[in-house]
């Protein structure tokens, strides 16, 4: 997580038997995605990355962050400037998603 070119976009709740949280990050230079789930580590692809990619495709490369209503405009602005602030914002205020193990 030390590479500041990676931006957290979305947190997923695992739908498997073991509760888990996976993070999908976007590389701001290469435009690639990565995920912290075990499937991505093995296959370099997973349902989470596919899900985020589908949202990016629909929105012309933008990822609309879903945040709760307590977020201030200042927090959003800070997140645009800093990878750390964005990560903080999403972990605290972002809506988690979940996808089925198979689609
Ligand atoms: Zn994944």
For ligand 1, the distance from its centroid to the CA atom of residue 22, given in whole angstroms, is 6
For the segment 63-75, the average pLDDT, to the nearest whole number, is 94
What pLDDT shows up at residue 99? 83
Distance 96 CA to ligand 1 centre (A): 13
What is the predicted pLDDT for the residue at 3?
52
DSSP state at residue 97: B
Check pLDDT > 70 for residue 74: yes
Residue 9 host element (H or E):
strand 6-13
Q: Per-residue pLDDT for 87 more than 50?
A: yes
Which residue, chain included where needed, has tokens 């701001």? 28
User: Can you give the pLDDT at residue 4?
Assistant: 75
Ligand 1 centroid – CA 56 distance (Å): 16
- Residue 74 CA to ligand 1 centre (angstroms): 30
Helical residues (DSSP H) of the chain, grouped into ranges: 38-43, 47-58, 73-81, 83-93
pLDDT tens per residue, range 17-61: 778 899 999 999 999 999 999 999 999 999 999 999 999 999 999
Q: Cβ distance 16 to 101 under 8 Å?
A: yes
The pLDDT score that the predictor gives to residue 17 is 78
């Amino acid at each position: 997580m030390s590479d500041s070119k990676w931006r957290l976009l979305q947190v997923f709740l695992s739908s498997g038997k073991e509760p888990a949280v996976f993070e999908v990050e976007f590389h701001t230079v290469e435009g690639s995605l990565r995920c912290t789930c075990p499937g991505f580590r093995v296959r370099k692809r997973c349902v989470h990355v596919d899900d985020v990619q589908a949202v990016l495709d629909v929105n012309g490369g933008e990822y609309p962050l879903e945040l709760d209503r307590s977020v201030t405009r200042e927090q959003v602005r800070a997140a645009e400037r800093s990878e750390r602030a964005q990560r903080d914002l999403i972990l605290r205020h972002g809506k988690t998603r979940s996808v089925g193990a198979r689609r």
